[in-house]
Amino acid sequence: MKDVLKNLRHNGVYVPVYDFKGFKIKILGKKIKLSPISEQMAIAWIRKKQSILSPPDKIYEKNFKQEFLEKIEQENSELEFINNFFKNHLEKIAETSFQEDEIDFSEVSNYLDTIKQKKQSLSKIEKKAQSAIRKALKLEKKEKYGYAIVDGKKLEIANWIAEPSCLFAGRGDHPRRGKWKEGPKQEEIILNLSPESPTPLGKWKEIIWEPEKMYVAKWMDKLTGKIKYVWFSDSAFIKQNKEKEKFEKAAKLGKRSRSIEKYIIKNLKAKEDIKRKIATVCWLILKPNMRVGDEKDPEEADTVGAITLRKEHIKIEDDVIYFDFLGKDSVRWKKSIKAPDPVIQNIKNYMKSSKEYLFEGVDSKKVSRFLSQKMPGLTAKVFRTWRCTKTLEDALKKSRVKKEDKIYVKKFYAKMANLKVAVVANHKRKISPKFGERLLKKEEKIKELRIKLKNLKAAGKKTKSTETRIEKISLDIELTKQTKEYNLGTSLKSYIDPRAYTKWARSADFDLTKFYPKTLQTKFSWALERKKPVSDIECKNT
């Protein structure tokens, strides 16, 4: 394997230390000391409990309670009344809500309330000062742990702070949400370091040297059993190079898309059943932009992609297929698409014959092998990258933005094109509970301005600035409405070749620094131009 790193030197991972308060809870009126772990559990629980946006649901609560009570029992096994209490209650309590009179968290909740109040009572200046202190402290730690020296270059590390312990926040219907996830200790962390680098102080699990890998450190997550990695940040040249390769590959797919589509269509009627299955899966990846959707652990939320589709996710009427299922992150994937006859026939057949999955026997590896026949290295995910970037290019072209257009008009079309991509990729977001209210406010505003405009006209006064404001707000309203349930960030960060934007920006004389947020400008520094367009300077105040 090719080495990614020649040498790698860093100071290890920063492992946050929990500041133990020594709180007690009360069980049946008697005070019980918490340990550092049970205290953290209690604090995390009360925080969650107080959360307005996402309070715990039944399963979260049950998972938490079971573990918490077991922990309390363990920690206090010498106390007789605890033993009795648990003998009688453990099962019952875990099934129902905490009884306030049985377990009393008030010391913990008082503490949280005090913190909140203190924060609120702070004046602007004090708040600023405190946040500046926090920032400085973090920066100081970052200076030590946040960078690595790779081949003589100083590279930023993304997640240089090890994950602190918390209650597991699995998404969707994750069966283990609410369970305690203990963060890694230093002695559980493996560091990737080249041999000539000095070993960071402290006890680490292991120091290894894997120059062909691109991680800085790793550890095993005790709850999920998965390995967690410490990576370089997106600004690192190693990451940027891979990013470029990704988009090159997608572009290559674009060039061959016609012949690849033909290949897929042809194989919808292949003799071998497995080949027909794979081709049908590929069609779903190519056309409605599905993820490949490999089989997953039953100990996770039940989400699916093309391969793992089941009968209940599909309806067919004539030549239209209706999909409705939960995809990655339990985001609802609801679309319909007109499909050619062989696709319809295949899916109908598999719906009849399949036991569990429609495409039983297909996995992402077989899909890759099938696709590689037409283009080496082609895998399912490349299709999403290609489709997204292409969607953006088409949308920008269609927008017909001219050089003379106002900056906010250009920005609007840049956003709308981004939105088209988000829709294609099904990047959704939780609808803000204040959405209706917010929109209404904006609509009120525009009404107000229209009246003002009328009056100005009647009085023969200047109307230019009011007109501009109206135009601006109406575009804003349009965007607010359309992006109600879509999140544009993911596609902008991961799917849109920045050069698609730069190309357009050049022709439209648009300054992309007005569009890409700072971190993305850094991430895409390999593609973004630094020179500012002329019109940008002229239109500064529009």
Partner DNA sequence: TTACGCACTTAGGAGGGACAAT
Partner DNA sequence: ATTGTCCCTCCTAAGTGCGTAA
The torsion angles phi and psi of 394, rounded to 5 degrees, stand at: -60, -45
365, exposed or middle or buried, with CB in 10 Å at 0-12, 13-18, 19+?
exposed
| Dihedral, CA of residue 344, residue 346, residue 352 and residue 353, to nearest 10 | -170
Q: Applying CB under 7 A, which part among 196-204, 326-334, 346-354, 504-512 lies near DNA? A: 326-334
Question: Is there a contact between 239 and 233 (Cβ–Cβ < 8 Å)?
Answer: yes
In the list 144, 153, 262, 296, the residue contacting DNA (rule: CB under 7 A) is 296
Q: Which is nearer to DNA, 322 or 435 (CB)?
A: 435
In the list 429, 484, 499, 503, the residue contacting DNA (rule: CB under 7 A) is 429
Distance, in Å, from the CA atom of 183 to the CA atom of 194, rounded to the nearest integer, reads 26
**Stretch 330-369 residues interacting with DNA (CB under 7 A):** 330-331, 361, 364-368
Q: Applying CB under 7 A, which part among 260-268, 310-318, 441-449, 453-461 lies near DNA? A: 441-449
Would you give the binding string for DNA spanning residues 87-126, x where CB under 7 A is met? -------------------------------------x--
**Stretch 4-33 residues interacting with DNA (CB under 7 A):** 4
Q: Applying CB under 7 A, which part among 33-41, 295-303, 502-510, 534-542 lies near DNA? A: 295-303
CB of 98 to DNA, least distance (A): 21
Q: Applying CB under 7 A, which part among 35-43, 103-111, 168-176, 349-357 lies near DNA? A: 168-176
In the list 437, 461, 462, 540, the residue contacting DNA (rule: CB under 7 A) is 437
Would you give the binding string for DNA spanning residues 475-514, x where CB under 7 A is met? -----x------x-xxx--xx-------------------
479, exposed or middle or buried, with CB in 10 Å at 0-12, 13-18, 19+?
middle
Q: Is residue 164 within the footprint of DNA (CB under 7 A)?
A: yes
DSSP letter for each residue of 398-442: HHT--TTS-HHHHHHHHHHHHHHHHHHHT-B-PPPTTHHHHHHHH
Q: Is residue 517 within the footprint of DNA (CB under 7 A)?
A: yes
CB of 204 to DNA, least distance (A): 15
3-state secondary structure of 190: strand
Question: Is there a contact between 508 and 405 (Cβ–Cβ < 8 Å)?
Answer: yes
Q: Which two tokens stand for residue 130?
A: 């405190």
**Stretch 250-279 residues interacting with DNA (CB under 7 A):** none
3-state secondary structure of 389: helix
Q: Is residue 244 within the footprint of DNA (CB under 7 A)?
A: no
**How crowded is residue 368: how many other Cβ atoms within 10 Å of its Cβ?**
16
Q: Which residues pair with 153 in a beta bridge?
A: 150
Q: Give 523's contacts (C-beta < 8 A, 6+ positions apart).
A: 234, 235, 239, 240, 243, 493
Question: Is there a contact between 424 and 289 (Cβ–Cβ < 8 Å)?
Answer: yes
CB of 432 to DNA, least distance (A): 7
Q: Which is nearer to DNA, 85 or 350 (CB)?
A: 350
Q: Which is nearer to DNA, 151 or 163 (CB)?
A: 163
In the list 26, 213, 311, 335, the residue contacting DNA (rule: CB under 7 A) is 213
3-state secondary structure of 160: coil
Q: Which is nearer to DNA, 255 or 441 (CB)?
A: 441
Q: Which is nearer to DNA, 28 or 161 (CB)?
A: 161
**How crowded is residue 314: how many other Cβ atoms within 10 Å of its Cβ?**
17
